[in-house]
Amino acid sequence: MTNTTHASHPAIVKRLKRAEGHLRSVVAMIEAGRPCLELAQQLHAVEKAIGQAKKTLIRDHLDHCLGDAAQALPAGQQRSIAEFKEITKYL
C-alpha cells in the first residue's frame, strides 16, 4: 500500500475535524437531556458532513488514482472507466 496525499485531503481532514467537534456537542446534548428532535437534527448534520467527506475522498481517488492508471488502457476501456467515474456521482 502506498502513501498518497491528494490536494483534497486537507479539506477532508478539516471537514472531519469539524464533524468530530459537532459529534462531541451532540454527546453533550444527549447527556444534558436535550429534546430528541434537536438530537436527530444534529446527528443528521454530522452524518451528512461525514458522508460528504467520504464522497470527496472517493471522487478524488477515482479522478486521480484510477484516472492516471486508465491512461495506459485502450480507448474502449478508457471510455468504460470514464463512464464508471461519471455514474459514481449518483451514489
pLDDT of residue 36: 96
Residue 67: inside a domain: yes
Q: Which candidate, 4, 26, 23, places its Cα nearest to that of 15? A: 23
**What pLDDT, in 10s, does the model give residues 11-30?**
999 999 999 999 999 999 99
pLDDT of residue 1: 53
To the question of pTM greater than 0.85 for the whole model, the response is no
**What is the DSSP-derived secondary structure letter of residue 60?**
H
Q: Report the distance separating Cα 71 and Cα 54, nearest Å.
A: 25
**What pLDDT, in 10s, does the model give residues 40-91?**
999 999 999 999 999 889 888 888 777 777 778 888 888 888 888 888 888 7
Number of folded domains that form the chain: 1
Provide the domain limits for residue 48.
9-90
CATH number of the domain bearing residue 38: 1.20.58.1000
Residue 49: inside a domain: yes
Q: Report the distance separating Cα 67 and Cα 64, nearest Å.
A: 5
Residue 75: inside a domain: yes
